[in-house]
Amino acid sequence: MDNPHTGVTIRAHHQEAIDALVCQLRDDPSNLAIIIAGSVAKGVAREDSDIDCYLVVNDEEFEARKQRDQLFYFAREGCDYPGGYYDGKIIPYRFLEEAAVRGSEPTRASFDKAFVVFSRIFGLDDLIARIPIYPEQNRERNFQDFFAQVELYGGYFAERAIALGNAYLLTYAIGQVVLFSGRLLLAYNRVLFPCHKSLQGVLRTLPLIPDRYFELQEELLRSPDKESIRAFVACIRSFHDWGIAPHEAVSRFIQNNEWNWLDGEPPLSDR
């Protein structure tokens, strides 16, 4: 059947599971809304795909759950099909407001084609529609920041890892080169970064991408040596003027990777 909100076709058993979820949760006054997301919302679900959802709760319920580290909703009851279950995140209304203004790209992307199936909140559909929009104000800065990562990890760190025989550093550096090269191409095409799991699939849908990109990426991942690294970085470097010179890239890398704690809490990997 077709979703009246988006026109996306939803399998009958997935729609039945969504209806069951609404019946289970709507009578609890702390539950303010249910938003369906993920593969079901996008119309690309398999027969056994789970039901991804956001459950919007009032502030008191959210804080109580946060204190108990219970911001994840998992249940099988109501998903009466093989492999079915609900995969949900518990959020307050302010999460949606913040996501529309300054949400990360993966957060924004998670609301792509999402739709509301239950709500006590006026205007929620309009708010949801404002979230999965590419943040144009970040684009030029992202070009520079992301390319600095490609230059440093693909130049200095990867080659030093090879010279030192440091397998860990080489694996990490190559992963960063592939990640930020992909981020550059997404930004160039004004497409949101979905998550690491979905990155390669989304890259293959882009209309503007360097020649031999995936071939060179595969060579880099399978046989990371100086030749494959340099060929892949050259492919990215020649595709577009990313707006940052090599000496500037070093300075930008220092700010983003080594001094990132100055403007807030350091990332988890450095804490």
Output the CA torsion sign for 133, 139, 141, 144: positive
102-127: pLDDT as tens digits: 999 999 999 999 999 999 999 999 99
2-12: pLDDT as tens digits: 565 667 889 99
**Which residue segments constitute the domains of the chain, with CATH numbers given?**
12-129 (3.30.460.10), 136-270 (1.20.120)
- Cα distance between residue 21 and residue 118, in whole Å: 10
196-237: pLDDT as tens digits: 999 999 999 999 999 999 999 999 999 999 999 999 999 999
Counting beta carbons within 10 angstroms of the beta carbon of residue 241, is it exposed (0 to 12), middle (13 to 18) or buried (19 or more)? Answer: exposed
